[in-house]
Chain A
Amino acid sequence: MPKNKKQRVGLRMDMTPMVDIGFLLLTFFMLTTQFRPPEIPEAQVILPTSHSDIKQPESDVMIITVNKDGGVFLSLDSQKLREALLTKKIEENWDKIDPKIKSQYSDPATMAKLVPSFPVQISDLSDLLMQARIRNPKLRTIIKGDREADYGPVMDIMDILQKVNITRFNLLTDLEMQ
């Protein structure tokens, strides 16, 4: 009897259902994942938290980022719009742009097409916002401020929004866990 025990029986389990579920999940995650373009490091922010549960709209958005040092960045989700608005700005400032960022793009037009967010001056903002709204009236404005940011730049942006008649806008926050 002890000898018999040592003779292991090749155990064959039917793995088909597990593999099926595995592939199902794989397809699900593959289809739901959307890859975000890598954000330039200066425009990365830690969002404040709130209890609001309105989700960020997916398309037709214009995001104004305020980082913790008060720098302002504009990002548009539509490539066409980005190209139309930013090409001129980038051409003007081509020499001033950080060479590290610049080296990724061959010329101003491609940079305008591909750059995830572009640093803007508050003085230029009203002009850009107005042009963007003319090109796409459905555009929704979102302010994405860092939790460490001062209120000053945000206040300036809200003033500009009010001046260009964007009276409805959103503040981006993370959901507060409580």
Chain B
Amino acid sequence: MGALEGGGERQSAVMAKNKKKHRKKRIGIRLDMTPMVDIAFLLLTFFMLTTTMSKPSTMEINLPPTETKVEVAESNLITLRVSEKNEIFWNMGVEKPEKISFDGLRKLLSEKLQANPKLIALLKVDRKAKYINMVDILDEFALTNINKFSIAPMQDEDKQIIEKLGG
């Protein structure tokens, strides 16, 4: 038994040697990569479709603190009022307000700014008007390079002025 076992050992040693020889001869392993690549592309499409590239942009607004009061010459002041029917009225200084459509606003603002570079805009929006009006008008200010503007609450007087004009 022992002898046999020994023989077996010898034999296995020989086999191992043979195996070693075999190992050294590398066989080009061809792994089927298809499933992995499939999964990779699946993930790729998933991430491509779920990614939202565009981050929302923001408009920056600076309001003066409540305590400060700035005196403004009336000739430099353009007031824009938005009524609760979302109509826009404008006037320079103490002139009578006039109605204007939103499309005409840009031209008006750039003309006024050209005529008077010290122009300051005052925006008064009615509580019941839509928020988007304010955003649109502020956007027009930015586009026409009116950097000095202020936002004020609509007073009753303002409402009366607009009502008189049929707003």
Inter-chain CA distance A32–B57, complex, in Å, is 18
Inter-chain CA distance A170–B142, complex, in Å, is 14
Contacts of A163 in B (CB 8 A): 66
Total residues of chain A contacting the partner, CB 8 A? 48
Q: Is A111 part of the binding interface, using a Cβ–Cβ cutoff of 8 Å? A: no
A32 to chain B minimum Cβ distance, whole angstroms, is 7
A56 near B44: Cβ-Cβ < 8 Å: no
B44 near A154: Cβ-Cβ < 8 Å: no
Inter-chain CA distance A171–B57, complex, in Å, is 8
A170 near B61: Cβ-Cβ < 8 Å: yes
Q: Is B15 part of the binding interface, using a Cβ–Cβ cutoff of 8 Å? A: no
Report whether over half of chain A's contact residues are helix, strand or loop; otherwise say mixed: mixed
Report whether over half of chain B's contact residues are helix, strand or loop; otherwise say mixed: mixed
A174 near B57: Cβ-Cβ < 8 Å: yes
* A151/B126 contact (C-beta < 8 A), A32-B51, A48-B132, A48-B135 known: yes
Contacts of A165 in B (CB 8 A): 65
A162 near B66: Cβ-Cβ < 8 Å: yes
Contacts of B130 in A (CB 8 A): 147-151
A56 near B55: Cβ-Cβ < 8 Å: yes
Contacts of A30 in B (CB 8 A): 43, 47
B31 to chain A minimum Cβ distance, whole angstroms, is 13
A55 near B50: Cβ-Cβ < 8 Å: no
B142 near A51: Cβ-Cβ < 8 Å: yes
Question: B52-63 interface mask toward A, CB cutoff 8 Å, 1 = contact, 0 = none?
Answer: 001111111111
Closest residue on chain B to residue A66 by CB atoms = B131
Inter-chain CA distance A15–B143, complex, in Å, is 50
* A50/B59 contact (C-beta < 8 A), A25-B44, A152-B128 known: yes
Closest residue on chain A to residue B86 by CB atoms = A151
A158 near B151: Cβ-Cβ < 8 Å: yes
A52 near B58: Cβ-Cβ < 8 Å: yes
Inter-chain CA distance A48–B48, complex, in Å, is 26
A54 near B56: Cβ-Cβ < 8 Å: no
Q: Is B74 part of the binding interface, using a Cβ–Cβ cutoff of 8 Å? A: no
Q: Is B1 part of the binding interface, using a Cβ–Cβ cutoff of 8 Å? A: no
Residue of B44, B64, B66, B125 near A155 (CB, 8 A) is B125
A148 to chain B minimum Cβ distance, whole angstroms, is 7
Which residues from 38 to 89 on chain B have a C-beta closer than 8 Å to any C-beta of chain A? 40-41, 43-44, 47-48, 50-51, 54-66, 82
B61 near A151: Cβ-Cβ < 8 Å: no
Q: Is B37 part of the binding interface, using a Cβ–Cβ cutoff of 8 Å? A: yes
B57 near A55: Cβ-Cβ < 8 Å: yes
A54 near B135: Cβ-Cβ < 8 Å: no
Contacts of B56 in A (CB 8 A): 47, 56, 172-175
Inter-chain CA distance A73–B63, complex, in Å, is 22
